[in-house]
Amino acid sequence: MGIFDKIMGGKEREEVPDIEHYLELEEEGDAVNPPADFYVKRIDLRNEGDANLAMKELTSKNIIILNVHALSKQPNRLKNIIGKLKMNCEKSNGDIALLTQDLVILTPSKVKIVKSKAKPKKRA
């Protein structure tokens, strides 16, 4: 704010926080913040290799948010890959659920997703 703005009663600009600082993609720790035991990771599912990466991350006990938008125009291929992921999650005692139309969550063993069921309609 300049001198002229102070005299004329101009409003101070609010400083916008640097959000990039908070969104840095780091897995290393430091003296103040040691590395975490487990992470929540986002993976874009484009092919079977990405599905294999997701399964590898699950074996490392990480929670995966899987973006399936890229394969939404190939429903048969997407269904096959999701079926394989579901089978592997069940084998490893993990869990899988749909978050949105384009996002699927995969959890490692001993982490379960609470899935709500539609409540039955009351009869009058």
**pLDDT tens-digit series, residues 75-117:** 999 999 999 999 999 999 999 999 999 999 999 999 999 988 7
Please report which confidence band the pLDDT of residue 41 belongs to, taking 50, 70 and 90 as the band edges: very high
Domain residue extents for the chain: 37-112
CB atoms within 10 A of CB 73: 8
At residue 116, the pLDDT reads 80
Non-local (6+) Cβ contacts of 81 within 8 A are 45, 48, 51, 71
Give 3-state DSSP helix, strand, coil % of the chain, rounded to 5: 35, 15, 50
Count of positions (residues) in the chain: 124
d(CA 95, CA 80): 17
pLDDT at 26 over 70: no
Write down the pTM of the prediction: 0.67
pLDDT average, residue stretch 52-60: 94
User: Is the pLDDT at 4 greater than 60, yes or no?
Assistant: no
Give the right CATH number for 37-112 from 1.10.10.10, 3.30.110.150, 3.40.710.10, 3.40.1410.10.
3.30.110.150
Measured CA to CA, the distance from residue 52 to residue 86 in angstroms comes to 12
Q: What percent of the chain has pLDDT over 90?
A: 59
